[in-house]
Amino acid sequence: MLYDLIKRLIDIVAALILGILFLPIWIIIPLLLKLDSPGPIFYQPERVGRNGLIFGMYKFRSMKMFEINGGVVHAVEFWEHNPELYEKYKRSGWKLELDEDPRITKLGKILRQTSIDEMPQVLNVLRGEMSLVGPRAYVQPELEDARERYGPKISKLIKESLSVKPGITGPWQVSGRNEIPWNQRVAIDADYARRHSILYDLYIILKTPFAMISKW
């Protein structure tokens, strides 16, 4: 399909340009991460990609490492030992305000507010697992929870969203991000997947820097 071919060419060229353009960030952020808190520079959480394919999404680590039962684990395992907070996280649409999320480091708050933590995803774009623009990359448990919570209607929207590759940026990121309820977010993603519009992609790309700045 012509749309898919053009989109893939844009993805490759844009990922290479971004990788070169933000080279100083690739040097500075790892140094700051090591000074801010112990742990790896990168983190690869599992995400659901196109047609349900599970892949590891590259991110700069924005969370603390925790010592549990004598071992050091990433903040994802933190939920297993804090079920009440985890339930609040789910009820809030799989999100917490940065100031109330005990997993996030001081530097991590800045990385998330500016979306700098997502820059390593250009590697996923080059690997063909993600696109520059697309729906949000969902976590499997939140999709399962959404199907139980919202029923068949949400299942249709999820299926449509997963018909295309997830993106580094996308319609929900430039339309309010975490302030949008979960069921509305997936509806926005499904609408994007149905469009197959390069012009809409370009609109989202142009709007993304302003959305990032607005978080400050």
Where do the structural domains in the chain lie, given as residue ranges?
2-213
pTM of the predicted structure, to 2 decimals:
0.84
Using 50, 70 and 90 to split pLDDT, how confident is the model at 182? confident
pLDDT of residue 23: 92
* Across 54-58, 146-150, 182-186, 212-216, least confident range: 212-216
Total residue count of the chain as it appears in this document: 216
**Mean pLDDT throughout 36-58?**
93
Buried b (16+ CB within 10 A) or exposed e, 36-74: bbebeeebbeebbbbeeeebebbbbbbbbbbeeeeeeeb
Burial grade of 203 (CB within 10 A; 0-12, 13-18, 19 or more): middle
Reported as a pLDDT band with limits 50, 70 and 90, residue 150 is: confident
- The pLDDT, as a whole number, for residue 67 is 67
Q: Is the pLDDT of residue 175 over 60?
A: yes
Q: What is the mean pLDDT of residues 27-45?
A: 91
Q: 121 versus 89: which is more confidently predicted?
A: 121
Q: How much is the pLDDT for 37?
A: 86
pLDDT band, residue 85 (cuts 50/70/90): confident
